[in-house]
Amino acid sequence: MKQVEYQYAPVLVALANLKKEGYTVDFNLDDNCLISDNNSYYVDDFEIDQVYRYEGNSDPSDEATVYGISSKDGLKGTLITSYGMYTDSTSSAILRKLSLKND
């Protein structure tokens, strides 16, 4: 498994940093994949390169995570998730991939 760098920065700073590094596509979370435009990326179709976390000082609902993601077909983009955004319909494989552990 690739070593992932965890960083802590406000969401806008994280997005600006990633954009400078070529992460320009917007990914969105679907039930069992990531989507961008009309393309679907399943758990084996992408890698998470960078993770930025932002935690609110007093309210856990202020927590957000920004992922820098590379797809196997060469796209580089971002996915933003917030506290409590995961639903029962999100596949366990996607949730596991987004809940990376630095091994």
- Tell me how crowded residue 67 is: count the other CB atoms within 10 A of its CB: 25
As a whole-number percent, the residues of the chain with pLDDT over 70 amount to 68
**Average confidence (pLDDT) over 28-33:** 86
Pairing of strands 5-8, 46-54: parallel
Closest CA to 66 of 4, 18, 1, 3: 18
**Average confidence (pLDDT) over 79-101:** 65
Predicted pLDDT at 42: 92
Predicted pLDDT at 2: 53
Kindly report the average pLDDT of the chain as a whole number.
78
Residue 62: band (very low, low, confident or very high) from pLDDT cuts 50, 70, 90: low
What's at 58, amino acid-wise? S
